[in-house]
Amino acid sequence: MSTGISIINNFKLSKILLILPFLMVSIVISYLSVHNLILLVVFVGSIISIGLAYFYPTITLFALLFIGQIVQYELSKILEGFTALSLSNLNFRFSDPILFGIIVSLTLKLMQGRHNVKELILGKGKFFVLFFIYVLIEVIRNVGIYGTFALGEFRTYYGGFVVLNYVAINTGTIIERKKIFKLIMYLGLGQIIVALIKGAYIQGFSLNAYEKWLSAFGSLALLYALFAFYLYNKYVKINISKTMAVIIFLSGILVLIIASNRSVWLAGSVGILLLIILKEIKLKEQIIFLIIGAIVLFIAMQLFFFEGYNFYNFFGKRLLAFTNYESDETSIWRYYVWSSLLESVYKNIFFGFGLGDNFQIFVPELNTILYNSPHNFYLAMLYQLGIVGIFLILLLFVSFINQLTKLKNLIDTDLVIKKTVYVVIVCLLIYWLAYSTEKDLFTWCFLGLGFSLIINKNFK
């Protein structure tokens, strides 16, 4: 094994990556030139993305977040649904070549034996690796049954773990972490602009409770970014005026209200409570936030009044889930779906049903079959991976928090990352109670930076 690694290290990897595309393309062209030009383009794009992912992780992550989440999901209606290419039984998303490049690049760097690989596999990252291996076993076990659908479900629900490790491996220094942290934070704040584009172009500035200016995934990204922005401005300082900072907060909170994603409201409330408990928001700052909140509510009320909507009815309708779930159509849907899913899961409670069948649970109360996420990631994992999977991922997060807590004397951006990741983990675990993160990439980028702190702590 050591001989194989040394051989790889002795090669000029950059030259291999330059030669590889031409070699592979020439082979594929001979086979596919008369079969499927689109598939060829996808393949060539994937090869190019390997080089980008290996040498330019910042550009790669920007492309992944922008194309893979903002364009592909938030602005999909502007593209009239053209966000994927369907070829036979394969469904290629625009972000798939980027993700493929990330997977290959990550594999190459692990094979090179970089200084943090041992920590990743055998040291601090062993619980990540353990969970990931378990998921891969489930994929392999189900490929023979469901074919490429098993791979597709892995990509949808657990592909974020690949992104997490890619971020961790490529941010070995505080400078690299700072660059990626600011990239994720500013792209997250950019969801404010996305919401305005989406609300204006698609919804016509409609303030109806079910006209989403942002998806739950976009709202979650914005929520994380606001927490990151607050902590970064507190410990490192951002070169903007206090007035601009207040405008960003006002705009961000207003968008989160209008987007009306209750799972994000719940996660945000718990996140704020956590910062208060950790004394990151002191009394003076609490008063400032209350003032900002009052201003936001006043602006929101005026907007709703101007558009002919009743602000109190808007909130009342969205809060029915917490006060009278039977009167809320989405809450009662969850209740029926969750009940049916739990009844089905008991048949294979320990290891679940694997990946690939896309749930397919019959819900008698709705007289329909579920073909998508049950809007509760714990139940989704229970169905797919069983109690073993739930136990492993909770063990992973307990270990994650414990190892972050042990990191002392952090400065500058690293301190901000540590505190931000605390909030992200807690918000995520709460958010999973009412939704899932199958289309969310920002979460895994933030967690990757926290993981980087753990496995790279001796290499700053």
Q: When comparing pLDDT for 355 and 37, which is higher? A: 355
Predicted confidence (pLDDT) per residue in 138-174, tens digit = 888 888 888 888 888 888 889 888 999 899 989 988 9
**pLDDT bracket for residue 2 (50, 70, 90):** very low
Q: What are phi and psi of 361, to 5 degrees?
A: -100, 130
Name the nearest CA neighbour of 257 among 297, 295, 229, 228. Answer: 297
Predicted confidence (pLDDT) per residue in 288-335, tens digit = 777 777 777 767 666 666 655 656 566 666 666 666 666 667 778 888
What's the burial of 315, exposed, middle or buried (CB within 10 Å: 0-12/13-18/19+)? Answer: middle
Name the nearest CA neighbour of 23 among 5, 3, 50. Answer: 50
pLDDT at 458: 53
CA pair distance 261, 222, nearest whole angstrom: 12
How many residues does this entry show for the chain? 460
Name the nearest CA neighbour of 384 among 178, 142, 81. Answer: 142
For the chain, state the CA radius of gyration: 23
Q: When comparing pLDDT for 322 and 26, which is higher? A: 322
Q: Average pLDDT for residues 37-51, to the nearest whole number?
A: 72
Q: Average pLDDT for residues 107-119, to the nearest whole number?
A: 69
Alpha-carbon dihedral sign for residues 28, 34, 35, 40: positive
Q: Average pLDDT for residues 193-221, to the nearest whole number?
A: 79
**pLDDT bracket for residue 182 (50, 70, 90):** very high
**pLDDT bracket for residue 115 (50, 70, 90):** low
Per the prediction, the chain carries an average pLDDT of 80
Q: Are 197 and 419 in contact (CB under 8 A)?
A: no
Under the phi-then-psi rule, with left for phi > 0, alpha for psi from -120 to 50, and beta for the rest, what region is 180? alpha
Helices 442-455 and 216-235, axial angle in degrees (round to 10): 40
Q: Average pLDDT for residues 16-38, to the nearest whole number?
A: 52
Please state, for a pLDDT cut of 90, what percent of the chain lies above it.
Answer: 27
Q: When comparing pLDDT for 335 and 11, which is higher? A: 335
Predicted confidence (pLDDT) per residue in 403-416, tens digit = 999 988 888 899 99
CA pair distance 50, 96, nearest whole angstrom: 12
Q: Average pLDDT for residues 346-370, to the nearest whole number?
A: 83
Does residue 449 have a pLDDT over 90?
yes
DSSP code for 200: I
Neighbours of 124 (CB within 10 A): 21
pLDDT at 38: 62
pLDDT at 33: 47
Task: Choose the weakest-confidence range: 48-52, 76-80, 144-148, 216-220.
Answer: 76-80
pLDDT at 203: 66
Which H or E element spans position 362? strand 361-363
pLDDT at 10: 44
Q: When comparing pLDDT for 11 and 368, which is higher? A: 368
Report in angstroms the alpha-carbon separations of 285 from 226, 272, 281. Answer: 15, 12, 6
CA pair distance 398, 421, nearest whole angstrom: 13
Task: Choose the weakest-confidence range: 73-82, 121-130, 448-457.
Answer: 73-82
Neighbours of 79 (CB within 10 A): 11
Counting Cα atoms < 13 Å in the Cβ hemisphere of 342 gives 8
**pLDDT bracket for residue 51 (50, 70, 90):** confident
DSSP code for 348: G
The token pair at 237 is: 């300082």
CA pair distance 118, 113, nearest whole angstrom: 8
Report in angstroms the alpha-carbon separations of 368 from 135, 304, 372. Answer: 29, 36, 12
Does residue 105 have a pLDDT over 80?
yes
Does residue 29 have a pLDDT over 90?
no
3-class SS of residue 366: coil
Task: Choose the weakest-confidence range: 23-32, 97-106, 341-350, 384-393.
Answer: 23-32
CA pair distance 69, 95, nearest whole angstrom: 9
CA pair distance 456, 460, nearest whole angstrom: 7
Does residue 82 have a pLDDT over 60?
no
Q: What are phi and psi of 86, to 5 degrees?
A: -100, 120
3-class SS of residue 423: helix
Domain ranges in the chain are 1-112, 113-455
The token pair at 305 is: 């009044």
